[in-house]
Amino acid sequence: MTRPVLIVGGGLGGVAAALGLGQQDISVRLLEQSAEIAPIGYGVQIGPNVLPVLKRLGLGDEVRRASYLPDDLLLLDAHTGEQLVRVPLKGEAFERRYPAPYIAIHRVDLHEILLKAVRQLPCVDLNQATTVRGYSQTSDAVQVQTEAGESIEGCALIGADGLRSRLRAQMHPDDAPRDTGYVAHRTIVPMREAPISLHKRTGVTMWTGDGFHVIYYPLRERTEMNIVAVFRVPSGLEPTDNDGYRNYIDDTAARTQPEVRDVISMVNLERRWSIADRNPLRQWADGRVTLLGDSAHATLQSLAQGAGMALEDASSLTALMMKNPTDPAHAFAAFERQRFVRTARVQLESRALWHTYHCGGADAQVRTQQLQERTTEDLYRCFDWLWNVPPTHGGAPA
């Protein structure tokens, strides 16, 4: 019996890679630490570069049906109320320029669509409650060791184990996630419970402020509103000081427009995600092992492209493994070369935008002037490299 390709991690990247390989009759064993492959239940924006990847997997129509199509991307100043940027996401100019719509989808819905397709493939074996500790390899096989003490063998290993990847830590022991000092709060509210000020918003609305931003968009035929609020944690504030944190948020909200205050009042402050990314890394491949998605190139969410890059990765990697069916090390080296610049650019542009979104004082005034000078054509030009994905990265439907 041929050894399977092992995939560690059942996030969007890992499941998409399992689907892509499984559709080519490659035997796959996916190992996920959670008891259920249970995706985090919040919204995700998916740029026009990503739907072609999902189309290639045969899921384009289904994903579109489950998606909301925002009218625009709107960037507003949370303190003054000024509009800084409006990027239309519908209309002839957008459609002529980009290969697919810009969509917003509940992550659970997208994950479920991918998982349903994977479950139909007899050559893909999904293993939950399996935490991988590390790997070893010989000239013709790889082995992963699990927390339960099991050793599982495969012909190749894909580490899709996210931002805090253990496989990356083994490959690069000195490399660690880069903490930003910001935390995110994510909430989904039924539209009927959303503040009335939000009902007029039909696109992706983002308010930028000094040390924070809030962003929201409708999901599921506008029956829900996805809200993300991100704040810089003041230095000296203990992580356990909930009252201090609440006071800080109240002070921040008091300096904002009424609509921003409405949104912040809806946010669940109990649950926080620390925001971190990774430095661009040239080496994701180690013989028969490769990293994919956030484990290879975790990015800040400024361009809303982390999941998109993981899905593009899955598409490129599948194609390269099909080209080199008996030589995964060769395919993985080519994968790293093919994907490095595009993913590093997402990481670095996202960092630059992080400053744009959170600056204050003179920086914010200059930022406002620069952004307000841009025409729609200028804005589209900024996104062209990202939203028009080359065929080798999953662009053109098969």
Question: Considering the complex, what minimum distance in angstroms separates the CB of residue 114 from ligand FAD?
Answer: 10
Question: Considering the complex, what minimum distance in angstroms separates the CB of residue 366 from ligand FAD?
Answer: 27
> Which residues make beta-bridge pairs with 156?
5
Closest CA to 358 of 184, 139, 109: 184
In the complex with ligand FAD, which residue's Cβ is closer, 327 or 344? 344
Question: Considering the complex, what minimum distance in angstroms separates the CB of residue 316 from ligand FAD?
Answer: 14
- Distance separating alpha carbons of residues 131 and 148, to the nearest angstrom: 8
Question: Considering the complex, what minimum distance in angstroms separates the CB of residue 32 from ligand FAD?
Answer: 5
Q: In what order do the strands lie in the sheet with 273-277?
A: 83-88, 72-77, 204-209, 212-219, 224-232, 178-190, 273-277
In the complex with ligand FAD, which residue's Cβ is closer, 10 or 70? 10
In the complex with ligand FAD, which residue's Cβ is closer, 168 or 368? 168
Question: Considering the complex, what minimum distance in angstroms separates the CB of residue 80 from ligand FAD?
Answer: 25
Task: Tell me which residues touch ligand FAD (CB under 6 A).
Answer: 8-14, 31-34, 44-45, 131-132, 160-162, 166, 184, 186, 228, 273, 293-294, 301, 304-308, 310
CB-based contacts of 308: which residues, under 8 Å, 6+ apart? 46, 47, 49, 50
In the complex with ligand FAD, which residue's Cβ is closer, 7 or 333? 7
Tell me the Cα Rg of the chain: 21
Instruction: Give the H or E element holding residue 295.
Output: helix 294-297
CB-based contacts of 294: which residues, under 8 Å, 6+ apart? 11, 13, 162, 163, 165, 278, 306, 310
Determine the 3-state secondary structure of 106 from DSSP: strand
Question: Considering the complex, what minimum distance in angstroms separates the CB of residue 120 from ligand FAD?
Answer: 20
In the complex with ligand FAD, which residue's Cβ is closer, 14 or 154? 14
In the complex with ligand FAD, which residue's Cβ is closer, 185 or 288? 185
